Each structure stands twice: as structure tokens, then as C-alpha cells.
Amino acid sequence: MTPPAGTITIAGKTVSRLGFGTMRLTGPGTWDDPADRGTALCVLHQAVHTHGITHIDTADAYGPHTVEHLIRDALYPYPDHVLIATKIGMVRPAPGQWRPLGNPFYLRASVEASLRRLHVDRLELCYLHRVDPDVALEDQLAVLEALQDEGKIGHIGLSKVTPEDIRRAGKYLTIAAVQNVFNSDGPFDPAVKMCEELSVPFVAYRPLGAGRLARTNGPAAPLRWLLTHSNHIAPIPSTSQPSQPSHLAEIVAAVQGESV
């Protein structure tokens, strides 16, 4: 099966440049189960087995925990060529609320819990979801590096970070990917250029501006803009409720067969 929009190497795997962001496979406020769990399972299955998307991005905070369970139920046992990336380091006090928590004990417990929910021995790509300003970045990275040494994390990524964060982190460990907001309607993120210079994949979340950029003329133009901007960029669009399978098919069709 030909991957949509070609391929990119992330965390040691050659995967589709067009990934799938799973944040919206939950209830309102990124909270609890989706209204139709069967539809959410269907869209995950179709992403991999119908559309050839081999980069699935999630986080323990989605639900919280909901989407990791969905991914296991829809895709386990995971095909060898599929990358399941997750993120840790955020807590959810209530629907629509997000708080970074970089306490090393919490980060370790979060990795152990994600391993159980996804039913794997190792998280192939684990991002620090947010840098907690109340905990030294080096302390947050140290626990991830220790878990990597123990074989529980394969590769480490950073999410919503600045060039300075990337520089600091790069002194201590190898950064497998950076995941920030990036789309054709937003301000330029200097982390994009830095990642290109460092040969670090840049995973663009919210590539359609939470759907805003696709409402007028569809998803093709904003996705092509990202894919042609640089070949180290891998967008991870999400689907929207309630017609997730058709929305996913529309996103794939927007880039399918394009020369990028």
C-alpha cells in the first residue's frame, strides 16, 4: 500500500509523512469516551489498513487515557511498520483543562501506565508533552533517558518547545522528533528551521488550524503547503465529530497522488 504523501523516517522507522493525530477521538473537551466508540475504532482501523497511514500520534492526556485504549482495541497487534507515538507530562483536572506535570515520579508512572494501556514492552516514540516550568528541564529529561536505558522508551521527542528548549535538551539526549503547532495561517515557528538544520523530524500538529483552514476549500491547500514547505515536516491532522471516517478519507484524498 502506497503511503499518502510519501514517507519520512521518525524514531528509526520509515512511516507515512501524513500521520494521524488522535486527540479528537474523545468526547467534548478531549474528555472521556467518544459518543460512538465503534466509529472511533473504525477510523483508526481505516487509517492504517485502508489509507496506509503508518504514523499514529496520541497522548495519555487524551481522555485522559481514552485514546490509548482505543488504539490498542483497534490496532493491536500492531503491524511492524506502524509507529505508535504517545506523549506524557500533562494532567487533566477537568474537560478542556490541561496542566503540565513534570515531576520525575509522575513521568515514570505515566510511562509505565502507557505501556500497559497500549500493551507493549516499549514506547517506540515517547514525547514530553509539555515542559513543566516548575521542574528543571534536565530533571524531566533525565527520567525519560533512564527509562530509555531500561528499554521502556525507544526514542524521545519534545512537544510545544522553543529553539532554546531544543538546544538545552540536545545537550543531554538525542531528540527523535519535535512536535509543535504549525500551519499556513499561523506565525512562523523558528523551531521548524532549527529542526531542519539538525535533521530532526518536525511533526506539525493542528495543520488544518483545528479545521478552520479546511472549511472553505477543503484540506488540500493547507496540507500541500506543509508538505512542500520542507521534507522534514510530517503533519498529523485529526478528524472531526461526527463523520470521522468520511473526514479522514477526505484528508487522505487531498494529498493522495500529489508529488511532494
Catalytic residues, by residue number, are 62
| C-alpha cell at position 169 | 535538551
CA 257 – CA 3 distance, rounded (Å): 10
Cis amide prior to 237 (ω within 30 degrees): no
CA 237 – CA 204 distance, rounded (Å): 8
| C-alpha cell at position 133 | 516550568
Q: What angle separates helix 163-170 from helix 137-149, to the nearest 10 degrees? A: 50
CA 107 – CA 141 distance, rounded (Å): 10
CA 177 – CA 204 distance, rounded (Å): 10
Q: Are 80 and 109 in contact (CB under 8 A)?
A: no
For residue 73, give every residue at least 6 positions away whose Cβ sits within 8 Å of its Cβ, in sequence order, or none.
Answer: 41
CA 220 – CA 140 distance, rounded (Å): 38
Residue 116 CB neighbour total at 10 angstroms: 10
